[in-house]
């Protein structure tokens, strides 16, 4: 029995190496060993959720140091399966993103709100926010750009 399990696992490992990873968004297939649970295969790339943003860059032009800038990035799920955002992170603590915590169904819209605090950030700015999700591609980047003038 153990020999059969080893041969089966080896066959699965070899066949997994020959799969075209471009066909899958994420490989979620797991082999059940010792009565473990097996997850369903990943969604094919053509069926994956997809972001369609109204804008990916917000130019706040010129502001004075200490001002806060807030903008919303509206998006639509133009894919075929629900879009799930698992995380949104910024390049520094001065930029805070807020994102929907519930799945966005195909055809539905959502909003990612970003607040940038310019305190101590003088000069040209490009604050990037990385959105991690089950979309294809898996990560999206949004930017807040502009210039912060020093207080007089």
32-49 pLDDT, tens digit per residue, is 334 444 333 467 888 999
DSSP string, 1-31: -HHHHHHHHHHHHHHHHTS-GGGBS------
Point out the least confidently predicted range of 1-10, 40-49, 77-86, 128-137: 1-10
Determine phi and psi for 14, rounding to 5 degrees. Answer: -65, -40
Quote the strand ranges of 2-122, DSSP E: 51-53, 57-64, 68-77, 85-90, 95-98, 109-117
Q: Are 21 and 41 in contact (CB under 8 A)?
A: no
- Please give the average per-residue pLDDT across 101-122, as a whole number: 98
Indicate the pTM of the whole model: 0.72
pLDDT at 118 over 80: yes
Residue 45 pLDDT: 85
């Amino acid at each position: 029995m153990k020999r059969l399990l080893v041969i089966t696992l080896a066959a699965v490992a070899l066949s997994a190496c020959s799969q075209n990873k471009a066909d899958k968004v994420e490989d979620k297939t797991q082999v059940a060993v010792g009565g473990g649970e097996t997850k369903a295969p990943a969604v094919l790339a053509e069926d994956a959720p997809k972001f369609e943003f109204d804008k990916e860059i917000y130019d706040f032009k010129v502001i004075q140091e200490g001002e806060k800038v807030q903008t919303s990035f509206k998006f639509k799920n133009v894919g075929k399966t629900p879009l799930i955002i698992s995380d949104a992170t910024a390049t520094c603590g001065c930029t805070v993103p807020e994102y929907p915590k519930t799945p966005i169904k195909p055809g539905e819209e959502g909003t990612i709100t970003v607040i940038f605090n310019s305190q101590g950030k003088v000069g040209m700015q490009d604050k990037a926010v990385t959105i991690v999700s089950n979309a294809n591609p898996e990560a999206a980047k949004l930017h807040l750009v502009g210039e912060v003038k020093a207080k007089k």
